[in-house]
């Protein structure tokens, strides 16, 4: 069996015209899957956790190389009955391995960052053979990837498919960004997504965005893909945190120009705490107590209207 050639033909034709909208307990009861699987190409899958199990409804990425696959993030729910991530990943991997038999094929489980809604399913992989789960803390992440302070991208080789990783703290101290030359994806976690960008450390956040823009400009990036959709299709309008059904979502993917917009916006509001609304994202600089109160009120109002 010939190895997959991840060089010629890269990047593959984008296939991101997906209707991601799903969720709510009612729809799950009506037979909607608990994890939505999108096969982007033969070797790249995007998974979305249903809002039936978590309002966070994060996106996860499963990328195949010739010697191992990478699962980026493990979702917001630990319980395999509510969130059958291991079974879903195993079934996709069984299919891939049937077409590409590879003895001892590995699985690397890593995280965009260490927040609970990105690592909760780690335990489902604890006893999986040929599997390495990177720890969620910043020390484990630095040690695994070998980041140092010069910010030079680090190679993560899946077997001919070689990704590049950079350490991008600011939203959270263990946050990373990955570039995949096969798809052209820049995977940005919660640092950049069409949603609320919560900033824990603004100095680190703006420095990370500078490095992300520099990397994106130096590579053939097709799409910037984060971990959540929290905006509506209306400019500057988000679904309040906790929303269980989002019928009017914008696409998941953002452009390199939009990444540069996030960077410029973060620099512009860096010295001003509070929530700052832009067309395609909202920057939460610091604790933002008033903005969170407004979020709670909007969520409550929506619940009372049955949304
Ligand atoms: Zn987060």
Reading phi first (left if > 0) and then psi (alpha if -120 to 50, else beta), residue 297 is in alpha
Alpha carbon of 199 to ligand 1 centroid (Å): 9
Alpha carbon of 200 to ligand 1 centroid (Å): 10
pLDDT top residue among 92 and 21: 92
CB atoms within 5 A of ion ligand 1 belong to 115, 190
Alpha carbon of 208 to ligand 1 centroid (Å): 15
For residue 169, what are its two tokens? 């703290």
Vertex 156, ends 151 and 142: CA angle to 5°? 50
Q: 62 pairs with which residues across the strands?
A: 45, 71
Is there a cis peptide before residue 11, judged by omega within 30 degrees of 0? yes
Question: Cα 211 vs. chain centroid, distance in angstroms?
Answer: 18
Alpha carbon of 96 to ligand 1 centroid (Å): 30
Q: Please tell me the predicted confidence (pLDDT) of residue 91.
A: 98
Q: What is the pLDDT confidence band of residue 41, given thresholds at 50, 70 and 90?
A: very high
Q: Please tell me the predicted confidence (pLDDT) of residue 286.
A: 86
How do strand 223-226 and strand 253-254 relate by DSSP bridges?
Answer: antiparallel
State which H helix or E strand residue 205 sits in. Answer: helix 202-218
Q: Please tell me the predicted confidence (pLDDT) of residue 183.
A: 98
Q: Where are the domains of the chain?
A: 25-304
Nearest to 54 by CA among 208, 271, 243: 243
Question: What is the mean pLDDT of the segment spanning 225-237?
Answer: 96
pTM of the model: 0.95
Place of tokens 């409550």: 300
The angle that helices 202-218 and 256-269 make with each other, rounded to 10 degrees, is 160
Length of the chain: 307
Question: Cα 185 vs. chain centroid, distance in angstroms?
Answer: 11
Task: Please enumerate in sequence order all residues whose Cβ is within 8 A of that of 18, keeping only pairs 6 or more positions apart, or say none.
Answer: 38, 46, 252
* 169/175 Cα distance (integer angstroms): 5
Alpha carbon of 190 to ligand 1 centroid (Å): 5
Q: Please tell me the predicted confidence (pLDDT) of residue 226.
A: 98
Percent of the chain exceeding pLDDT 90 equals 80
Q: Please tell me the predicted confidence (pLDDT) of residue 26.
A: 61
* 146/219 Cα distance (integer angstroms): 21
- CA torsion, points 20, 78, 74, 228, in degrees to nearest 10? 40
Question: What is the mean pLDDT of the segment spanning 135-144?
Answer: 97
Q: Is the pLDDT of residue 209 over 60?
A: yes
* 39/24 Cα distance (integer angstroms): 23
Mean pLDDT for the chain?
94
Q: Is the pLDDT of residue 31 over 80?
A: no
Alpha carbon of 97 to ligand 1 centroid (Å): 32
Q: What is the pLDDT confidence band of residue 29, given thresholds at 50, 70 and 90?
A: low
44-90 pLDDT, tens digit per residue, is: 999 999 988 899 999 999 999 999 999 999 999 999 999 999 999 99
Place of tokens 């997906």: 18
Nearest to 193 by CA among 181, 209, 204, 207: 209
Percent of the chain exceeding pLDDT 70 equals 96
267-304 pLDDT, tens digit per residue, is: 999 999 999 999 999 999 988 788 888 888 888 888 88
Q: Is the pLDDT of residue 207 over 80?
A: yes
Q: Please tell me the predicted confidence (pLDDT) of residue 292.
A: 83
Lowest-pLDDT range, 151-165, 241-255, 290-304? 290-304
Alpha carbon of 115 to ligand 1 centroid (Å): 5
98-126 pLDDT, tens digit per residue, is: 999 999 999 999 999 999 999 999 999 99
Task: Please enumerate in sequence order all residues whose Cβ is within 8 A of that of 245, keeping only pairs 6 or more positions apart, or say none.
Answer: 23, 24, 27, 51, 307
Q: Please tell me the predicted confidence (pLDDT) of residue 1.
A: 56
For residue 83, what are its two tokens? 């969130």
Nearest to 228 by CA among 64, 29, 75, 79: 75
Q: Please tell me the predicted confidence (pLDDT) of residue 30.
A: 67
Task: Please enumerate in sequence order all residues whose Cβ is within 8 A of that of 156, keeping only pairs 6 or more positions apart, or say none.
Answer: 70, 108, 110, 145, 162, 163, 164, 165, 178
Homologous superfamily (CATH) of 25-304 is Ribonuclease Z/Hydroxyacylglutathione hydrolase-like (3.60.15.10)
Alpha carbon of 148 to ligand 1 centroid (Å): 22
Q: What is the pLDDT confidence band of residue 232, given thresholds at 50, 70 and 90?
A: very high
Task: Please enumerate in sequence order all residues whose Cβ is within 8 A of that of 113, keeping only pairs 6 or more positions apart, or say none.
Answer: 171, 172, 174, 175, 176, 189, 190, 191
């Amino acid at each position: 069996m010939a190895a997959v050639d991840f060089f010629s033909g890269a990047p593959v034709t984008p296939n991101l015209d997906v209707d991601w909208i799903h969720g709510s307990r009612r729809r799950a009861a009506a037979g909607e899957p608990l994890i939505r699987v999108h096969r982007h190409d033969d070797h790249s899958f995007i998974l979305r956790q249903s809002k039936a199990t978590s309002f966070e409804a994060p996106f996860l990425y499963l990328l195949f190389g010739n010697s191992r696959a990478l699962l980026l993030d493990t979702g917001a729910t630990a319980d395999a009955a509510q969130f059958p991530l291991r079974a879903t990943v195993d079934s996709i991997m069984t299919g891939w391995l049937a077409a590409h038999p590879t003895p001892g094929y590995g699985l690397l489980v890593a995280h965009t960052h260490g927040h609970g809604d990105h690592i909760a399913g780690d335990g489902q992989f604890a006893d999986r053979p040929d599997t390495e789960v990177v720890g969620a803390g910043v020390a484990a992440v630095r040690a695994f990837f070998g980041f140092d302070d010069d910010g030079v991208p680090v190679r993560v080789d899946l077997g001919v498919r070689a990704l590049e990783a950079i350490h991008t703290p600011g939203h959270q101290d263990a946050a990373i960004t990955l570039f995949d030359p096969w798809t052209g994806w820049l995977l940005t976690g919660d640092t950049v997504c069409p949603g609320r960008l919560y900033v824990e450390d603004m100095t680190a956040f703006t420095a990370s965005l500078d490095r992300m823009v520099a990397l994106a400009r130096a590579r053939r990036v097709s799409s910037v893909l984060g971990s959540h959709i929290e905006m509506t299709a209306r400019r500057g309008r988000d679904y309040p945190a906790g929303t269980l059904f989002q019928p009017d979502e914008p696409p998941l993917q953002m452009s390199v120009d939009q990444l540069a917009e996030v960077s410029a916006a973060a620099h512009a509001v860096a010295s001003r705490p509070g929530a700052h609304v832009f067309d395609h994202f909202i920057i939460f600089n610091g604790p933002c107590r008033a903005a969170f109160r407004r979020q709670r009120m909007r969520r409550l109002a929506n619940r009372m209207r049955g949304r």
